[in-house]
Amino acid sequence: MLIALHDSDDTNFPNLALMKIAAWHRQQGHEVVWYAPDEAAQYDQVFSSKVFSWTPEDSSLPPWAVKSGTGYGIFNTLPDAVEHICPDYSIYRHVHERRNSRRKRPEPEYSLGFITRGCSNNCSWCIVPRKEGEVRAHADVEEFCRHRHVVLLDNNVLAHDHGIAQIEKMARLGLRVDFNQGLDARRIDGPIARRLASLGWFRPLRLACDQKGQMPVVERAVNLLRAAGARPKEYFCYVLVTDVDEAYERTMFLRGLGLAPFAQAYRDFTNDTAPTIKQRLYCRWVNHKALFKSILWPDYWEQERTRRGLAA
């Protein structure tokens, strides 16, 4: 069989589901290639995965292609035999055509996976509880780990005993980690801070401050982590942006703690709520470090508002 993979989002981040599908089909002796529109008639099956709802549909996909992922609004899961296979990290080693462009996609130098799935927080802006349900144990890190560096995609790893046990195991194995979706600051107490401090980090330690009420919780967590000796490359904090003035208050608070804020404008699950121009400019100001360090938001907003002829 000839199997074609289609990474709809085409970002610099590898698609975990496609790497698992590739691994399973190659295990069956099938040939696996990247999808090319002009070769669609040759394929026995096409698998398309889309993470983000705002990624445009690819009109070149055949009607019989198997589509899945949050971006398509399809929440089906992989069969266990595929879900619990070690991903084929080599599929991103190639130069391939996608949407009329050529991009070199290097094989990731880190392993990627989940040790827990789900989240019990039920935040109104988050799709995870609706998609995955309550937090639960999912896998042992050695199931998917083939590198010294590991990126974990868990949404609330600290909310389950299995997650804590796996953190201890990763420390024993000497792995360097990145909790890519962030850690819940509310669950970081003294013992948890010490476990996290025992880990090696190859990317920032990520937290989130999505509401004003989380500010003291984040401050406490950071103080505990620093006291325990956690030494990530950087303390990084996601900032959900709905009301810009309120987000600015949180951002400046985080800046005062020595954290690196990263602003994300609110989008709903169906993409009906597009970020406003003010929200987009705010995110640009926060995330463009040269701007963030050289000008305050009120001055930047006034400058851009005047230049673009926007209402106050």
β-bridge partners, 98: 101
β-bridge partners, 206: 236
Tell how many helices (H) and how many strands (E) occur in the chain: 10, 15
Q: If you ran DSSP here, which 8-state letter would residue 41 be given?
A: G
Q: Where are the beta strands (DSSP E) in 61-185?
A: 66-68, 95-98, 101-104, 111-113, 116-117, 136-137, 149-152, 176-179
What's the rounded Cα separation, in Å, for the pair 85 and 271? 32
* pLDDT at residue number 96: 43
Class in CATH terms, 111-308: alpha beta
Query: What does the pLDDT look like over 101-120, one tens digit per residue?
Result: 445 566 789 999 999 987 77
For the chain, give every domain's residue range: 2-104, 111-308
* pLDDT at residue number 99: 40
* pLDDT at residue number 75: 77
Q: Which residues contact 36 (CB under 8 A, 6 or more apart)?
A: 4, 96, 97
Query: What does the pLDDT look like over 35-76, one tens digit per residue?
Result: 999 999 999 999 999 988 788 989 999 999 999 988 887 778
| Ranges of residues in the chain whose predicted pLDDT is under 70 | 94-106, 121-133, 268-272
Tokens 């600015």 belong to: 248
* Residue 73 to residues 2, 68, 125, 268, Cα–Cα distance (Å): 27, 8, 15, 12
Contact indicator for 150, 108 with CB cutoff of 8 Å: no
